[in-house]
Structure 1
Amino acid sequence: MNIIGRLTKDAEVRTLSNEKQVVNFSVATNESYKNKQGDRIEQTTYFDCAYWISAKVATLLTKGKLVELTGRVRTRAWIGKDGEAHSGLNFHTSQIKLHGSGRKTETVQATAQGTTDDLPF
């Protein structure tokens, strides 16, 4: 699945107990359409994203950056401390394309054999 959206805040790197690192970030996608009455409806969807291939990409994932992501989406549901039901979308990211940087589109991609990073890190 591919999604295109803007980062809602700077990416964060978490180090797990097994020393593996994950880059966490959030992306907002926008969709607009006209309803039956002809009114334009704007809809924003938020995805909590995880990228496991290289933590170095986190420095490029800053608030407002336009990104195109390839990966798998999963839903999650939970009961909060307030007792209310919550839900969200997780996006397990395997490829990141950065747009609007003033130079050619940059890509970070995982391959079946290992990791291929086209970004300079």
Structure 2
Amino acid sequence: MAGVNKVILLGRLGSDPEVRNLPSGGKVVTFSIATSENYNNKNGEKVEQTEWHRIELWEGLANIAEQYLKKGDMAYVEGRIRTEKWTDKEGIERNTVKIRGNALQLVGGRGAGNDGATESSSTYSGNSGGGYAPKSAPIPMPPPAEMAGSGSDDLPF
């Protein structure tokens, strides 16, 4: 039986990424992203429902998250749902649902503030070779004055 396990999230980090260095020399970064949904309930009252998602990034993506992400930043994550089961110290079986990220896009860039405006973005993706490099670089935009031209004489028609 075949299936698809793909998650796409765009949200704000609830805390700075937590970094764990593994004995093997690898690295894992975990953080939570909040996504919100607004709707009107049966009484016509506006309701905001927030969901928290635990994100886990490995190796190269972990390095990028450690270097560039901080609490309040907007991030786009693609990955798959992973359910982990374990037994705690009291012998109780526990479950945790995580998103194992395989692509990360930094939204807003440094200095863009937390107002949701996108100054720039960089997309990173894991690959089988272990290298993590930008999939696409931000396209620099000229200042608005250069885009507008000097008047209607600049129009090609």
Structure 2 length-normalised TM = 0.63
SS in 2 for 1:56: helix
The structure with more radius of gyration = 2
Structural mapping, 1:12-91, within 5 Å:
12-54=18-60, 55-57=62-64, 58-75=66-83, 88-91=96-99
Cα–Cα, structure 1 residues 40 and 97, in superposed 2: closer, same or farther, change >3 Å? same
Q: Distance in 2 between matches of 1:86 and 1:42?
A: 29
Structure 2, gaps ≥5 residues long: 1-6, 113-118, 138-157
User: Which portions of structure 1, spanning 4 or more consecutive aligned residues, are displaced by more than 4 angstroms?
Assistant: 75-88
What code does the residue aligned with 1:24 have?
Answer: T
Higher relative contact order (CA 8 A, sep 6+): 1
Cα–Cα, structure 1 residues 2 and 80, in superposed 2: closer, same or farther, change >3 Å? same
Q: How many residues align?
A: 120
**Contact 1:7/1:26 (CA < 8 Å) preserved in 2?**
yes
SS in 1 for 2:131: strand
Cα–Cα, structure 1 residues 28 and 76, in superposed 2: closer, same or farther, change >3 Å? farther
**Contact 1:11/1:61 (CA < 8 Å) preserved in 2?**
yes
The answer to which structure has the higher helix fraction is 2
Taking only the aligned residue pairs, the percentage that are identical comes to 32
Q: Distance in 1 between matches of 2:34 and 2:50?
A: 6
Structure 1, gaps ≥5 residues long: none
